[in-house]
Structure formats: C-alpha cells, structure tokens
Structure 1
Amino acid sequence: MQVYKAFFKIIQKNRGQILIYLVVFMVLALLLTNTYNPPQDTDFSKVKVNIAFINNDSDSQLVAGLKTYLDENANLVDLPDDTQKLQDALFFREVEYILRVPAGFTEAMLSGQNVQLEKTTVPDSTSNVYMDLLINKYLNTAQTYTTYLPGLSQADLTQYLARDLAEQSEVTLISNGSHSANAEKSGYYFNYLSYSMFAILILGVSSVMLVFNDTDLKRRNLCSPIRSATINFQMILGNLSFAILTWLVLISASFVMYGSFMFTPPGMLLLLNSFVFTLAALSISYLIGNLVKSRGAMSAVANVFALGTSFISGVFVPQELLGDNVLTIASFTPTYWYIKANNEIAAAVSFNADTLQSIFTSMVLVLAFGVAVLAVTLVLIKQRRVEA
C-alpha cells in the first residue's frame, strides 16, 4: 500500500490549508447555534383595530346596533368631528380607520336602498380590508332582512342582526406533527457544510494529484514493479478514504450540538444527503486535481469554486431570496440540489411519499452530477495517457 500511504503523507504536509476551512466551518456552526432564534408562532390571533365612529345620522337603534357590533370587534376611539384632528389621529396612527355614517342612513336601510358609508383609512393596510369585511357583513345581513321582511321595525331588525352576527364557527387546526427547532438549526449547519466540504476536498485531492501527475514521477512509477492497476486502485482508495474521513469530521459536531435529533428521520436524511454530496464533491475535486498545474492555481480554484457555488446555490443567501436567473444557473451545480434537499428536510413536519420523492430526486441529481464528472475525468486521464 505504498501509494495509499504516500497519498496521506501528502495530505499531512498540506494540513495547514485544510485546517483553515475546517476551523471556519466550526466557527460558523457554533455562531449559528448561539444566534439562532426559533420562528415565532404563526397561529392566527385576533387583533382589534383602532377606529373612529362619526355619526351624522339620527341616533337610531340601527346606528346604535352598528356601533355596538364594531365595538365588539374593534377599539372605538372617541374623537371630535373635526377634520384636522381626525387627520392628525390617522397620521399618528391613533386610529387606522375612520367611519362616517351619512345623514339618512337609517331611512335608506329600512327602505331597502343601497347605502354607501364614508371611510378614511391608512392606504393599503390590512386593517382597511378587515374593517371593510366587518362593515359589509353587517350591512349585507341588514339588507337581506329588509328585502325579505319589509316593514320590519328597527328594534326587531337590530335584535336579529345581533343574534345572527354573534354566531361563531369553531375552527380546529390539525397538524401532522410538531416541528423541532433542531430541524432548522441542523438544516443551516448542513448547508454551510457544503462550502467547507468542497474547499477541503479540492485542496486535498489537488495537492495529491499535483505530485502524482508530475511527469518525472509518472515515468518512475511506470518503471516500478507495482502495476498501473494497483496504483490506480490505491489512488481511488485514498481519495475515498480522505472524502469519508472529511465527511465524518464535518458531521461530528452535529451529534454534539443536536444530540438525539440526528438519529431521527430528518437527521438521518440530512446525513445521507451530505454523504451523497461528498461523493459528488469528490468527483469534481478529482477533475479539478487533474486540471490544475500549480499550487497557486489550486488555492484559487478552491476559493472561487467553493465560494461561487455557495453564493448562487443558497448556502449563504437563502434560495427563496435569490433571483430566478441566478437559481437557473445554480441548478447546473450539485450544491443547488443539495441545498434544496436540505431545505425540504428541515422544513418537513412529516414525511410522505411526495416529500420523500422530491428529496430523493434531488439526491439522485447530485449523484448524477458526480457520475457525469467522473466519466469526463476518466476520459481526460485516458486521453493524456495516450498522448504521453
């Protein structure tokens, strides 16, 4: 196993560069764990809007019923009927909705005519839409009674409206499971893992290939008693061992930080996805290692490739914040599909056939990238061997 031992001796001599990316990753992982804030509860909660109610009609029972209904669903703020003061209250958000009941409102409603209330609101606000829905609900219900029960007294109409509008529907939210905060944290952890994984593998594999691709050394190896097939086998074994060792080191911190979560289905899927990505990254690193000609180029390619794919694929900037054109370009890299699978795993509350199909499809695409690049690398190596 002389070639295998030589492989790791070369890695040992280049451990300084490799350790830099390992330390960077660990620092990012620790910062993420300490600064992460779990998402706020997104369940619906009713919030009352501050409104002003101005009545220019008579103090009828119908108007009083409307005011009582709004008081139950909003906060009525007592303001004088003064244009300047109403505008100031709206500007400083003392109120968000000003409703004015015009003269003749009661008579028009009882006679079945269409009634138009006057309103002044904060532009494009949700409170505007919410209050419109409440008021329209009251008016539409009142209009239904006056249309089909003509001659109905104000007292009866107000009583019917209060009874009908007091009806509430019971809503039950059914969840397929709970979402662990560790899922979000570990998702970010494994997203950042791709950057360090690419950089470490490119540097490690390229440093070895620079030595073994040296013309004089290749000629000496051809004259050695070790067969070419044995050399190639030990080289492949060395690359796989280095990749798996790197993967084990990078994922080790996840077991310390997230504990038993890593043995749950989401945790196991994240580990599987990262292992598949490691194989694809190794394949690309092997191609780069056979193309670079100097140590300076090796470091430059490692930085550009690792950082470039990370920025456009969603490692440092979430994919949902990236433009369509950027994501289209990123889809031609394995990092994009790796991050996509990680995000789906971290966001899933439960795993069904559709969710798993999407996740495994991304994994297969990552593996396909690795196989395709490996095939190109083997063709390149054979071509060089023929030319030599």
Structure 2
Amino acid sequence: MQVYNLFLKIFKSKIGQIVMYIVIFLGITMLFLSKTSNSPSNDYKAQKLVVSINDKDNSLESKLLRNYISRNTKKYEISALDKETIQDDLFFRNVDAVIIIPKGFSKSFNSNNITSSINTYTLPNTMTANLTKNLVNKYLSTALSYHKQGYSSSESLIKAEKNAKIHGNIKLVSKKTTTFTMRYYFFSYLGYILICTCFVSGIPILKVLNSKKIDARIQCSSYRFSKKNFEIFLGIATLGLIVFIIFTILSFIILKKDVLTINGALLFLNAFGYIIMVLSLVYLFGQLVKKDVYVSGITNIVALCFSFLGGIFIPLNYLSDTVLKIAHFLPSYWYIRGCEFAENYNSGSFIETFHYISIELIYALVFYLIAVTIIKMKAKNSI
C-alpha cells in the first residue's frame, strides 16, 4: 500500500487549505442563518402608519373621518402645524403623514366635491405616502358613492367604514414555498464547497502520483499498474469520505434536529451522490493538470461555473430560459433540483431523489471513463 500511504501523506499537507474552505463555508452559512427563519409564517407582521390628524372643521362628517383614520393608524401629536415643523417631523420619520381636515369639509362632501378637500403632507415618492393617500381616498370615494345614491353624509361615511372592515379569509393550501430554510441553504452551498475542498486537496496529489519520476519508479519495480490505480482510487475515496464526514458533523452542529428528519436524510443522500461526481471530476483533472499553479484557477472556474449556472448561488427560478437550458448539462443543476425536492418533501414517494442522484452518478461514470481513456492514451504515448 505504498501508493496509498503516499496519497495520505500528501493529503495531510493540504489540511490547511481544507480548513480555509470550511471557514469560508461556515461564514456563508452563518450569514444566511441570520437572514432566514424556519418559520416562514412569522415573516410578515402587520404595521400601522403613524399619522397626525388635525380637524379644523369639527363637523359630524369630519369627526367620522377623523375616527376612521385614528382606528387604522397610530396617533402622533405634532407640536405645531407650521410648514417647518411638519417638514422636520416627516424628515426625521417621527410621523408618516400629517392630515389636516380644513373648514368647509362637510360642505364639500355634501356637494360631492372631496377630491381636494383634504390636506395631506407626506414624504414624496415613498410607500407610506401612497398608503396614506389610498387609506383616505378609498374611504371617501366609497362614502361619496353611497351619498350619490341618496344616503345622508353621515350614513354614507358609516357605511364606507363598514365596507373597509370587510376582509377576505386567507388559508394556506400548500406548504411548498420559495422561502427555503437554513437546512436547504446549508446543503445547496455545500455543492460549491465540495468542489473547492476536493479539488484543492485531490488534484495536487494526483499530479504528484502521475509525475514522470513516480511513474518511472513504479514501472521499474514489481508494483503492478493496476495496483497503483486501485490504491489511487482508494485514496480518492478516502479523501471524499473524510470531507463528507467533516460536513456531516458540521450539519449536526449547525442544524441540529433539522437534519434528523426524512428531508435531512434525502439531502444527505443527494449530497453523497454529488460528492461521488466531484471525486470523479477530481480524478479527471488530476490526469490533465501539469502544474500546481493551475489548480487554483481550475478550481475557481469549475466551482463558480457550476454554482452560478447550476442554481447554487442564484436560485433556479431567477435564471432565464436560455441559462436553464445550459444548466441542464451541469451536474450541479440536478444536485440543486434534488435539494429542492428534499427540502419540500412532505409525503408520498421519494423516488424522485434517486432520479437526481442517478443523473449525478451518470456524470461521475462519464468523467471516470474520460479519465481512464486519457490514462491509456498516455500509456501508449510513453511506449
């Protein structure tokens, strides 16, 4: 097992680079951990606008309008109604809007002319400005419709408020959501980190073992060519197993009980199929790379290409149709599809996961066969 022992010896010298990528991965994971929640239902909270109301008309109609606005907003007492004070409170976000009901509002309402009877001060071109205007205009336009039908002004305003209280009941009919949990982000970004860690640690080892000096010594000894390749294959398998165990331990530390589910098991299976593909790709590039300086460049090109086009860095639903067609030729695309299925799995058959894993294994077989072909071609050229 001399070749295998040499593989492990060189692998020990690459531990520092593996640790570096693990730290990068943990940094990305912690970033998403701070921005995601496992309970999407708590993401939305109703908020009320902060509004200051001044009623100068003091009529029955203006009181009904003032009460309606007060019930649907948070009250704020402004110190003075001069232009400078209003602008200061709006600028410092003390208030979202200042509404002044002028004298003659009731007369304007009774004459069906209320479009310009309310003075509203807001920050221009902001969401709060639009919400304030919609709140007032919708209420008054509804009341005006009732008034035109023969109702009195007070009856119209009361009916408009009753209409405003009508809301539809919303029920969740499907638990499937595009807002993924931390568990999904952990395993999806694992697709990028697995390529980086396996490439920077595996390709340099294969470059050394495939060098002319090592190859010439093996040919001069009683060491068979098949035995050498078997031990190299065993070394690559050991590399993959060590990396997979490291990230498995990290998943239990970070995600805890979230991985102790059927969804977690499916994600682990999908990741295991993907790392086999990555190791096969390492074996292929190990036959092609001639210098250590090329390893970093190849690692970045492959990892970033797989990540941006395959859906790791950019969600698949944000990719254009043209990019998605290209992504179908990348194993990372099928890995992400597997992650999405595992994350959203609720009940029923999970054979779809094995469909994605089988595609990843087909890529692994193709890369391995290409590598073997290159090895045979090199052997023929050396004779």
State TM-score, norm by structure 2: 0.75
The structural deviation recorded for 1:16 is 3.0
Alignment of 1:246-325 (within 5 A): 246-254=242-250, 256-257=252-253, 258-259=255-256, 261-293=258-290, 297-298=291-292, 300-311=293-304, 313=307, 318-319=313-314
Aligned residue in 1 for 2:61: 62
1:127 paired to 2:128: yes
Alignment of 1:347-386 (within 5 A): 348-351=343-346, 363=357, 366-386=360-380
Aligned residue in 1 for 2:13: 17
- 5+ residue gaps, structure 1, are none
The structural deviation recorded for 1:274 is 2.3
Separation in structure 2 between the aligned mates of residue 197 and residue 11 of structure 1, nearest angstrom: 14
Q: Deviations over 1:120-167 (max 9, x none)?
A: 32233222232233213211220221122x2x3333333333444344
- Determine if contact 2:270/2:339 at 8 Å carries over to the other structure: no
The structural deviation recorded for 1:70 is 0.5
The structural deviation recorded for 1:269 is 2.6
Alignment of 1:31-42 (within 5 A): 36-37=33-34, 39=36, 42=42
Separation in structure 2 between the aligned mates of residue 124 and residue 82 of structure 1, nearest angstrom: 22
Aligned residue in 1 for 2:85: 85
Relative to structure 1, is the Cα distance of residues 339 and 350 closer, same or farther in structure 2, using a 3 angstrom cutoff? closer
Aligned residue in 2 for 1:139: 140
The structural deviation recorded for 1:39 is 2.7
Give 1:378's aligned amino acid.
V
- Determine if contact 2:327/2:333 at 8 Å carries over to the other structure: yes
Pairs aligned (count): 367
Separation in structure 1 between the aligned mates of residue 244 and residue 161 of structure 2, nearest angstrom: 67
Separation in structure 2 between the aligned mates of residue 142 and residue 248 of structure 1, nearest angstrom: 66
Relative to structure 1, is the Cα distance of residues 105 and 355 closer, same or farther in structure 2, using a 3 angstrom cutoff? farther
The structural deviation recorded for 1:74 is 1.0
Relative to structure 1, is the Cα distance of residues 336 and 128 closer, same or farther in structure 2, using a 3 angstrom cutoff? farther
The structural deviation recorded for 1:311 is 4.7
Secondary structure of the 1:112 match is coil
- Determine if contact 2:277/2:361 at 8 Å carries over to the other structure: yes
Aligned residue in 1 for 2:155: 156
Alignment of 1:326-345 (within 5 A): 331=327, 336-337=332-333, 340-341=336-337, 344=340
Separation in structure 2 between the aligned mates of residue 250 and residue 371 of structure 1, nearest angstrom: 25
The structural deviation recorded for 1:341 is 4.5
State TM-score, norm by structure 1: 0.75
Relative to structure 1, is the Cα distance of residues 383 and 237 closer, same or farther in structure 2, using a 3 angstrom cutoff? closer
Give 1:305's aligned amino acid.
I
Separation in structure 2 between the aligned mates of residue 262 and residue 7 of structure 1, nearest angstrom: 37
Separation in structure 1 between the aligned mates of residue 276 and residue 156 of structure 2, nearest angstrom: 74
Moved more, 134-143 or 252-261: 252-261
Relative to structure 1, is the Cα distance of residues 112 and 350 closer, same or farther in structure 2, using a 3 angstrom cutoff? farther
Aligned residue in 2 for 1:98: 98
Separation in structure 1 between the aligned mates of residue 108 and residue 3 of structure 2, nearest angstrom: 92
Relative to structure 1, is the Cα distance of residues 93 and 368 closer, same or farther in structure 2, using a 3 angstrom cutoff? same
- Determine if contact 1:341/1:362 at 8 Å carries over to the other structure: yes
The structural deviation recorded for 1:63 is 1.6
Separation in structure 2 between the aligned mates of residue 201 and residue 345 of structure 1, nearest angstrom: 30
Give 1:126's aligned amino acid.
M
Among the aligned pairs, what percent are the same residue? 18
Q: Deviations over 1:244-298 (max 9, x none)?
A: 43344334424652455434223223322322222222222222222233xxx13
- Determine if contact 2:109/2:153 at 8 Å carries over to the other structure: no
Separation in structure 2 between the aligned mates of residue 205 and residue 264 of structure 1, nearest angstrom: 38
Q: Deviations over 1:325-375 (max 9, x none)?
A: 9x95995995743773476368x3545799985x77765664454344334
Relative to structure 1, is the Cα distance of residues 92 and 259 closer, same or farther in structure 2, using a 3 angstrom cutoff? closer
Give 2:314's aligned amino acid.
Q
Alignment of 1:161-310 (within 5 A): 161-173=160-172, 176=175, 183=183, 186-187=186-187, 190-191=190-191, 192-210=193-211, 214=215, 216-217=216-217, 219-220=219-220, 226=224, 230-231=226-227, 234=230, 237-238=233-234, 241-254=237-250, 256-257=252-253, 258-259=255-256, 261-293=258-290, 297-298=291-292, 300-310=293-303
The structural deviation recorded for 1:51 is 1.9
Relative to structure 1, is the Cα distance of residues 161 and 39 closer, same or farther in structure 2, using a 3 angstrom cutoff? same
